[in-house]
Amino acid sequence: MRLTGKVALITGGAAGIGKATAARFAREGARVVLCDVNEEKGRAAARALGSEHGFYRVDVTDREAVQTWVDDVMARYTRIDMLINNAGILADATLVKVKNGQLVKQMTQDAFDRVIAVNLKGVFNCTQAVAPYMIRQGNGVILNASSVVGLDGNFGQTNYVATKAGVVGMTKVWARELGRYGIRVNALAPGLIATEILRSMPGDILDGMRRRIPLGRMGKPEDVANAYLFLASEEASFISGVVLRVDGAFVVGT
């Protein structure tokens, strides 16, 4: 019960890593408030946690909606101890595709902008809304979802890699800016995690991915949730500004 009495906000909490993290934090005694754009799954996830936990439909790209969410949580729970910036999307494509010397396809402006808006601006929006409350409390923990591809790059993911590398940079800045107020800021860089999206891929592709993981298996959402739990707990009270890889020593392919 390492999080007893704490209030944790988790974005993208309706499924995958966010949902697993919510369940883990709740078992450790935290009151968990989820947000997601998928209202049906989000409300189901919150109900499964119990009546003292909550869900809000929030688009993290909407700064006003984020502020309303955070203000309402404060009014209801009177404190915010942890923010897990987990929400994210994919829209993969190569920068350009050329055939016989001619441009035949490229990453669209919309695909680039949508991923930037959710994965990078969304993290900025939520952190900026929460930080003043944590400053007044004199403590808090902010944990940001990066990725191994944000550290190593990956073919066909210009937009996604840009956001996850940007999250690393913001994490390091905020650790410096907010540390004086007792707020710790860290990032996680998961590798191949068996979420709903990944499990839907063809078996031969999944087998090829597994072969690039020295530990011989894909990660589970609970593996990432456990890492979030450690960084949120007092056991990590002198850890700030770090990026923790949770990847089984994954080797990013080309």
Determine the pLDDT at residue 251: 82
pLDDT category of residue 197 using cuts at 50, 70 and 90? confident
DSSP state of 157: B
Average the pLDDT over each of 22-36, 63-77, 122-136, 192-206 and give the range with the smallest value. Answer: 192-206
- Residues 6+ positions from 135 with CB-CB distance below 8 Å: 178, 181, 183
Residues in the chain: 254
pLDDT category of residue 146 using cuts at 50, 70 and 90? very high
- Residues 6+ positions from 75 with CB-CB distance below 8 Å: none
Average pLDDT, integer, range 200-229:
89
Can 160 be counted among the known catalytic residues? Answer: yes
Q: Indicate the pTM of the whole model.
A: 0.95
For residue 83, give both structure tokens. 């923010």
As a whole number of angstroms, the distance between CA 235 and CA 112 comes to 38
For residue 197, give both structure tokens. 């999206």
Q: Does residue 209 carry a pLDDT above 60?
A: yes
Catalytic residue among 56, 133, 160, 228: 160
Instruction: List the chain domain ranges.
Output: 7-246
In the chain, % of residues over pLDDT 70: 98
Give the Å distances, CA to CA, from 49 to 27, 32, 75: 9, 8, 21
Q: Which CATH code fits 7-246?
A: 3.40.50.720
3 state SS of 114: helix
Q: How many CA atoms lie within 13 A of 236 on its CB side?
A: 24
Determine the pLDDT at residue 101: 95
As a whole number of angstroms, the distance between CA 216 and CA 58 comes to 37
Average pLDDT, integer, range 158-181:
98
Produce one character per residue of 52-62: b if its CB has 16 or more CB atoms within 10 Å, e if not.
Answer: ebbbbbbbbbb
